[in-house]
């Protein structure tokens, strides 16, 4: 049983929930501070379950669809499907079950979330196709993660507001920038197998410069959110922490030295998202 759980946990890279979940929780608690907000531990649990089910479906589908490509890429050949730890049919069944559980869970939240659930699923699943036809695939990935904080806000309020839209825009740009950095590792492989990415289209150096520009825009939106929310000291401490770590990952990775890409991708961005969320949520409740 534990081996089964470990295989599927590795299949969906469960530890990478550090990227989206903290922002979803920020969106949830941001909504909870709105006048008349009706929140409960049950609603909180439903939002977390939606995050887990949607992410499981998206990552599982990506691994299933890319299984043949993964099997010939030395960096990914040991992933669970090409390595034989999880049969392709079982992986696809896992995707379908999680997609259905996501839709069912939204039914117990509110009508708006339920009606939007197929749209959300389409967004997070469609990304897996994009590397086959566009170098802008990074932005489809980031869109899938960016809907998390807005979805969590809608779960509480059932309405669109400016702060969660800014928060989702932060996630969109942040993920786009760091996914460009991460994809530098596969530039040669992608070229050889006619897969699309911005490093393939622009080259390593120009792709890194573009990532830097995107993260500069991210930092500006982080500051804008603090202004719109009239953030206190903790919020601004979170701004400094997050923008500082954005800068640090670009100091770690150079066009001719990709040895620290994984540190920039996982460690730096994981620390950025978790700490930023903690600072913002604490500021909301302690001011």
Per-residue pLDDT tens digits for 227-246: 999 999 999 999 999 999 88
pLDDT digits (tens, 9 = 90+) for 145-155: 999 999 999 99
Residue 2: predicted pLDDT = 58
| Proportion of the chain above pLDDT 90, given as a percent | 70
As a whole number, mean pLDDT of residues 148-166 equals 96
Q: How far apart (Å, rounded) are the C-alpha atoms in residues 159 and 37?
A: 11
Residue 263: predicted pLDDT = 62
Specify the fold of 8-286: Tetracycline Repressor; domain 2 (1.10.357)
- The per-residue pLDDT of the chain, averaged, comes to 91
**pLDDT exceeds cutoff 70 at 14:** no
pTM of the model: 0.94
**pLDDT exceeds cutoff 60 at 1:** no
Structure tokens at 60: 């599982």
| Concatenated DSSP letters of 116-172 | HHHHHHHHHHHHHHHTTT-TTHHHHHHHHHHHHHHHHHHHHHSS--HHHHHHHHHHH
Domain range list for the chain: 8-286
Confidence label for 40 from pLDDT (cuts 50, 70 and 90):
very high
**pLDDT exceeds cutoff 80 at 163:** yes
Confidence label for 19 from pLDDT (cuts 50, 70 and 90):
confident
Confidence label for 50 from pLDDT (cuts 50, 70 and 90):
very high
How many residues does this entry show for the chain?
A: 287
Q: Where are the alpha helices (DSSP H) in 12-87?
A: 17-32, 41-65, 67-72
Structure tokens at 238: 């979170």
As a whole number, mean pLDDT of residues 96-120 equals 97
């Amino acid at each position: 049983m534990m081996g089964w759980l470990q295989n599927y946990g590795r299949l969906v890279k469960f530890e990478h929930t550090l990227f989206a979940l903290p922002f979803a929780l920020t969106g949830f608690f941001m909504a909870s501070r709105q006048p008349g907000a009706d929140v409960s531990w049950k609603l909180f649990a439903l939002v977390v379950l939606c995050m887990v089910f949607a992410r499981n479906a998206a990552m599982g589908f990506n691994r299933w669809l890319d299984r043949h490509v993964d099997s010939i890429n030395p960096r990914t050949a040991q992933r669970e499907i090409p390595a034989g730890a999880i049969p392709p049919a079982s992986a696809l069944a896992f995707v379908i079950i999680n997609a259905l559980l996501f839709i069912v869970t939204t039914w117990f939240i509110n009508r708006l979330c339920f009606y939007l659930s197929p749209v959300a699923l389409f967004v997070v699943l469609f990304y897996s196709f994009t590397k086959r036809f566009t170098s802008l695939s990074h932005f489809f990935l980031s869109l899938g993660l960016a809907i998390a904080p807005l979805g969590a806000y809608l779960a509480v309020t059932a309405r669109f507001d400016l702060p969660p839209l800014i928060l989702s825009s932060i996630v969109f740009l942040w993920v786009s920038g760091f996914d460009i950095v991460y994809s530098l590792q596969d530039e040669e492989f992608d070229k050889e197998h006619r897969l699309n990415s911005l490093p393939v289209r622009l080259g390593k150096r120009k792709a890194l410069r573009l990532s830097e520009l995107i993260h500069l825009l991210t930092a500006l939106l982080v500051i804008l959110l603090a202004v719109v929310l009239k953030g206190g000291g903790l919020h601004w401490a979170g701004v400094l922490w997050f923008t500082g770590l954005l800068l640090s990952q670009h100091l770690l990775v150079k066009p001719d030295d990709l040895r620290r890409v994984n540190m920039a991708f996982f460690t730096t961005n994981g620390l950025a998202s978790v700490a930023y969320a903690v600072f913002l949520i604490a500021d909301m409740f302690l001011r």
